[in-house]
Structure 1
Amino acid sequence: MDALSKVIDGYVDQLKATFEGKIDFEGQRKADQLNNLILSLTTVIALVAGYALQSMLLTFGIYGAGFLTALLVVVPPWPCYNKNAISWLPSLKKQGKVKTK
């Protein structure tokens, strides 16, 4: 069992490395705005269409499609969410300027 758990852990680590996405702060803002826009528009469209046709199934179907669209657009770490890399200041320890008491 120990060998099997090591193999499974290896696969899990590979999956984590594949699906772990890092995006910058501007990308997070853009993703949040897109998510809000998509969900708001599909909510209004779903309510109007459902009310006009008196169909709850249509209402939830349209909203579900909008939710899946938002999920596809926002969740993966698309390259457009990582265009503004952060340049951090160098460490004070590396520069030798750390004050100790």
Structure 2
Amino acid sequence: MIATRTGKSRTARFASSSTSLAIVVNSALEQNAMSLNSYIQELMEGKIDFVGQQLVEQLARFILISSAIMSFAVGFAVESLAVTFAMFGGATILLALLVIPPWPIFNQHPVKWLPVIEPKEKSKEKAKDS
């Protein structure tokens, strides 16, 4: 009987320690998942300022026009339409990698919003009376 009791207590002790370990591991995993989710959400949010938008637009326009001219010239020289489309497609993919992610260079001039002004009580009362 003593051996049985000891065996049960060891099992109970092991179960309680494994349960507490599982709780600690689960909370750590949840915190990592939440931080990963917030990081992904921050990346997907796409915060760029108006100056960054203008820079992206100018960059895209310049790269698309210059890559179209260069790919046409090289394709014409080689007499291959496949080379023309391959060069232009590669430049377009490179441009997408350059301008689609919200790189920090596109958020160097963040917008400073005005503080919220709470309406006065008198104006609320006048609105109720009207």
Could you tell me how far apart the structure 1 residues matched to 2:112 and 2:120 are?
A: 20
User: 1:31 and 2:80 equivalent?
Assistant: no
User: 1:75 and 2:75 equivalent?
Assistant: no
Which runs of 5 or more residues in structure 2 are unaligned? 1-32
CA distance 1:97–1:85, change in 2 (3 Å): farther
Could you tell me how far apart the structure 2 residues matched to 1:97 and 1:34 are?
A: 47
User: 1:41 and 2:101 equivalent?
Assistant: no
TM-score, normalised by the number of residues in structure 2 = 0.60
Which runs of 5 or more residues in structure 1 are unaligned? 1-9
Q: Cα RMSD over matched residues?
A: 2.2
Could you tell me how far apart the structure 2 residues matched to 1:16 and 1:40 are?
A: 33
Identity %: 33
TM-score, normalised by the number of residues in structure 1 = 0.76
Could you tell me how far apart the structure 1 residues matched to 2:74 and 2:111 are?
A: 44
Identify the structure with bigger relative contact order (alpha carbons < 8 Å, sequence gap 6+).
1
How many residue pairs get matched? 89
In the other structure, the counterpart of 1:61 is 86
Query: Which consecutive segments of 4 or more residues in structure 1 shift more than 2 A?
Result: 13-16, 96-101
Could you tell me how far apart the structure 2 residues matched to 1:69 and 1:35 are?
A: 10
Select the structure that is richer in helix: 2
